[in-house]
Each structure stands twice: as C-alpha cells, then as structure tokens.
Amino acid sequence: MSRPNPFNDSSGKETTCLEMLQAILDGDATEEQQQYFREHMDKCKPCYKSHELNMQIKQLVKSKCCGSHVPPDLVEKIKSQFNSIS
C-alpha cells in the first residue's frame, strides 16, 4: 500500500500533479511534501518533464537577467512560447 499524499488536505480532496508541482516550484512545500513529490516523479513522466522544464527556465532567467527572483508571469510567458514551437 502506498503512503498517503501529504499534499492532500483534511477534506479528502486529491491534489493534482500540477498543484503539487506548483507548490514545489513556489517553495511552499514542506520537506515531507518535497520527498513525496520526488518519489512521485519517479513514476509520473509528465510531472518529471514539467518539473525539469520549469527548473531549467527559472535557472536560465535567474542567471541571465533577474538576479535572485524570477517573476512567475515571466516563466509562464517563456513556457507558452516554448510550447508553441515544440
């Protein structure tokens, strides 16, 4: 039996992969949630690909133009442009 998802709230609502990913990328996830997501990515290829793409975009923008903070709207704009060419 798999362990309970620490992202789920007390109402029993299941947390989607996208919601987990967003919490991780925003830095809002606890250590337990981060560990759960790392294990989840081993089994969920779409999560792995999304996480890797987001991390690469943020790192690139951070290193080239914005210092320590990457505005979320800038990341979304880059992702949408990337998705339109792939």
Report pLDDT digits (tens) over 28-79.
899 999 999 888 878 887 777 777 777 777 777 777 665 666 677 877 777 7
| pTM greater than 0.75 | no
Residues 6+ apart with CB under 8 A from 18: 50
Q: Is 72 helix (H, G, I), strand (E, B) or coil?
A: helix
pLDDT at 70: 66
Rounded Cα distance, 23 and 15, in Å = 11
pLDDT at 30: 93
pLDDT at 46: 76
- What average pLDDT does the segment 7-11 reach? 83
